[in-house]
Amino acid sequence: MSKWILAVLFLWSYSITQIFAEEEIIGGTAAHPKKFPAAARLGYRDKARNQTTWFCGGTLISKRVVLTAAHCFYTDIGAVNVVRLGELVFNSDKDDAQPEDFEVLKLKEHPSFNYPALYNDIGLVHLSRDVVFNAYKIPACLPYTSGQQLRYFIAIGWGLTHATRGQQSKELRRVDLQNFGVRCAQTTERNEDLPNGFDELTQLCVGSPQHKDTCNGDSGGPLLIRHIGQGCAYQVLGITSVGIACDTPGIPSLYTKVFFYLEWIRSEMNAI
């Protein structure tokens, strides 16, 4: 299984096994307030116990829709039923943030997603009410390009900051990553998650030659580029999907290529 899938299955209340499953940020830096207003955190809220478990990331793309990885909908913890927006540092009231939780109306995975295989690893979370946009909550733009020819990306998330220490970050972090082109065709083994290996048409191959990576806790989070123009600060080019292990310089991970799915995304958004 992928490192991110395994973490989703075994994660509970910010505890996690030593198995590498989801992704988070290694070698990155703390995000500045209001820098990434499209950042979303997905979780399961057990109302009987008054306990919430956060286990995936996402990207706000409209007043009612959050983009994420379809495999985030497959967990023994419980179905995604809550989304937090406007957060910076969890469990803190001293950060410059405006956290707000939204109940989930519906989860929609891509019709060609066939778990446990991680192709077409893209899903939409429909919120139960509209998001009121402000400096802390602004959607990302859908991509204008596939990203195949771009050199650099930004990944964000709240997951592990060290590959061998099983505690997710309380603060939103960011890391700069590079496009590895088709290198994943050589570095990706065929297995249950990826029976056909790397798919250049629907996946981006992204990583770093340094100790910079996404790691446990960040599945479903965005791979971003800056947007030049009005309407948003960033375009979401990729979705954190699957990798070999955290903090492996020169060994890139696979991200769902959002551009390939624009027609499906827009169709689903128009149907709301």
- Whether 213 is a known active-site residue: answer no
Catalytic residue of the set 71, 110, 247, 253: 71
**Which residue type occupies 206?**
V
Which member of 2, 62, 219, 253 is catalytic?
219
Please state the separation of Cα 45 from the chain's center in Å: 19
219 is catalytic: yes
Tokens matching residue 10: 């075994």
Burial (CB count <10 Å: 0-12, 13-18, 19+), residue 164: exposed
Catalytic residue among 2, 62, 121, 208: 121
Whether 126 sits among the annotated catalytic residues: the reply is no
Q: Which amino acid is at 183?
A: R
Q: Are 234 and 196 in contact (CB under 8 A)?
A: no
The residue whose two tokens read 């478990």 is 53
What is the distance between the terminal CA atoms of the chain, rounded to a whole angstrom?
34
Residue 63: other Cβ atoms inside 10 A: 14
Q: Are 205 and 181 in contact (CB under 8 A)?
A: yes
Q: How many other β-carbons are positioned within 10 Å of the β-carbon of residue 65?
A: 20
Phi then psi for residue 232, to 5 deg, are -165, 165
Instruction: From 60, 46, 20, select the one nearest 160 (Cα to Cα).
Output: 20
- Residues classed as catalytic: 71, 121, 219
